A and B are shown apart, each in its own frame.
Chain A
Amino acid sequence: MKLANKKMAVLTAASLVISSAVATGAISSANAATKVLNFYHDKNGWDVRFNAVSVGLKDGIGVTLKPSTYADTTLYQNTLNQATKTGKGPDLLTWWSGYRMVDGAKGGMFADISDVWRDAIAKGDVSKDLQKQFMVGNKTYAIPNGVSYWPMFYNKKKFAEWGLKVPTTWAEFEAVCAAIKAKGVTPLTASVDGAWPSFIWFEQLLISQDPKLYLDLTSNKIKYTDPKVVEVFNIWKGMIDKGWFTPGDTSFFGEEAVKLINKGTMIPVGTWNNSAFSDTGGLVGGKDYDAFVIPNINPALKTQSIIVEAGAIGALAKGKNLATSKKALREWLKFPVQAIWADASGDGVPNPKVPVADPVIKGLSKYVATNKVNQIQRYWESGPVPLIEGGVVILGAFMLGNKTVAQTTTELAALADKEWAAWTKKYGK
């Protein structure tokens, strides 16, 4: 019995040692032998796009991507927080630009890739203006994961059927909404589903009223209780009261987006959703549907403004293949890969040398360039995370009629005071 116990103990210990040694060895040899980069992202359904990029990277530098999708963004963020400490997990990862990068940059999540940007700018592969969205201090931590405008998508055939034209003034825009409503169709999407979409109309109405107002508000130069901000809320409230918005639990992605636009509802959303209409819905861009820049509310403004979103792709600072990861990011910004991305995503790309093929994006890009439309960073990336996350909750309550304009602006102002103070205490101004 004693001997049997001893034997079992030895066998157990030996098997543990052997299995851990085998596992460690397997991981080490896999890292040494391959040029495959683990690529983590939370963009559902985008593996096709990333696999296409992988082919481009393989052709260019002999490196491929192994994409892993996280369906839940919260889980994704926390997985990467852990990976930041251990260095295990991804080599490359998607993230968000602006304020949402700061914690990761300060906390050691992202590798400094300032040299990648320096070279790309020198070769004309990317603009210096865009770089600012990926900088924390004087270092740059990510490349753009496409460049998406936030226009208004609309059903071109329905517009023709109903005798409507693309609005160029706010009065025309209101007339279009009223006409669609009269046809028994809800004219505009709005949603609080998942909380975040509540900022869409908030930012849009602010930049349509006065882009400087939006920039001052998001940089904490003015308060949410400022009379000009209150005025925008009143305009928004008027639109809500007219029944122009879809119910708060409306989803406007994928097939849901197709259903909405087929009915004739207009959808203000990033051009990353363009493929939902063309690929998922089988609609022909420029013929069945199109997009326009939402007109200014204030007729005194000389130029229009549009929200621009640039997602981020960074390299894990403690990643085991950091040199290869930086090489891949460098290649990612070059023409061949950018052209692949433009084709696969049906969206805009940061490299100006890449011709835009998609008719909707092409038309929009041309309009933005010709009319010198102001390109403004999205609200989601324009402030400390707790302020934005708390802000969308309050905005959602306003949208559902649970808070008045005065309550909403007062609560937002109090939240901004608290979170900007916390931010300043943490990182300075």
Chain B
Amino acid sequence: MSTEQRHDTRGLWHDNPALVQLLGLSPLLAMSDATVTALALGLCTLLVLMCSNLCTSLLRNRLSPALRLPVFALLIASFTTVLELTMSAYAYPLSQRLGIFLPLIAANSLLFARAERCASKASPSIAVKDAVLMGLGFLFVFIALGMTRELLGTGQLFADLEQLLPFAANWKLSVFGDAPLPLALLPPGALLLLGGFAAFKNVLDQRRARTLPEPELPPPGSKRVRVTGQL
């Protein structure tokens, strides 16, 4: 349990789902071409992750190993459908823009990974905390990527944000007259930028490791990945 707990709080940075675990890349790359879509899909993923982690954790003692995965899939798909129905009623243009990636939240590997690795073994409070941290870690990278791509690819920021937040109608900023780097809007641009972000994170980590040499190493005996032959 203590290993789980420690590695919960790492979701924001050290085990960031988008930058380190590289989970849920397909929506991350496809829907980060504008701040509004990135924010919307990141929030949706966070919500579904919280609900599915909570329910998985509540059911954890009743599930046999054989039926665990079908129940996870059912829970995640149900919460995704709830979100999809709600969005198509209350934020129709945005739900059209997110298109297939809204229902595809149900197939996001991040959700299964958290249900399996954390929520099925931990108490509800720990499971929800894990979901919040992992979801926020994903959301922050999503928003950062969305803002960067929108800024470089269109020269603007926060266009159409009112599709998600009705009070944000006049938030659109025209930063550059012309798009400085249209490549940023294309899928390759998304991949390059995400790689850049991951590299930047590693540089920061290395800097920090050099200035304070000891604390960040995981304590001995807490291996997450078992290396063959070293059981």
Same complex origin of A and B: no
Interface residues, chain B, with chain A CB atoms under 8 Å away? none
